[in-house]
Amino acid sequence: MTSDEVVVFVTCPRGRVAQRLATVVVTKRLAACVNIVPAVRSVFRWQGNVDQAEEALLLIKTTARRFPALSRAIKAAHPYDVPEIIALPITQGLAPYLAWVSSSVALTTR
């Protein structure tokens, strides 16, 4: 059984940038929670060269419905030209946790 909830991976510069991105998306109700993994080493091909960088990894919990707005917010605030923003479906999880994720990012009606 697949749920509407997803985990989004975003790599970014460590420190203030990671904290700012996490705070922005939670404040805007685009994410229920962001885990900041403070130190990952990325090896990647960029502009024809193999490069490396020390980065932070953001593990963002949200819903598939909120992903387009989340992606736009990250792109607007992210310093990279082409940031990693990928979503993986959550196929199973603790029902109360998944409900909390959904309710945390739900658009309120007033």
**How many Å apart are CA 78 and CA 45, to the nearest integer?**
19
| Residue 84 falls inside a structural domain | yes
| CATH number of 32's domain | 3.30.70.120
| Residue 24 falls inside a structural domain | yes
Q: What is the pLDDT of residue 2?
A: 54
- At 95, is the secondary structure helix, strand, or coil? helix
Q: What is the pLDDT of residue 21?
A: 98
Q: What is the pLDDT of residue 110?
A: 45
| Residue 93 falls inside a structural domain | yes
**pLDDT tens track for 3-62:** 699 999 999 999 999 999 999 999 999 999 999 999 999 999 999 999 999 999 999 999
**How many Å apart are CA 53 and CA 41, to the nearest integer?**
6
Domain count, the chain: 1
pTM for the full predicted model: 0.92
Give the model's confidence band at 102: pLDDT under 50 very low, under 70 low, under 90 confident, else very high: very high
Which residues span the domain enclosing 91?
5-105
| Residue 72 falls inside a structural domain | yes
Identify the burial level of 82 via C-beta atoms within 10 angstroms of its C-beta, where 0-12 means exposed, 13-18 middle and 19 or more buried. exposed
| Residue 110 falls inside a structural domain | no
| Residue 92 falls inside a structural domain | yes
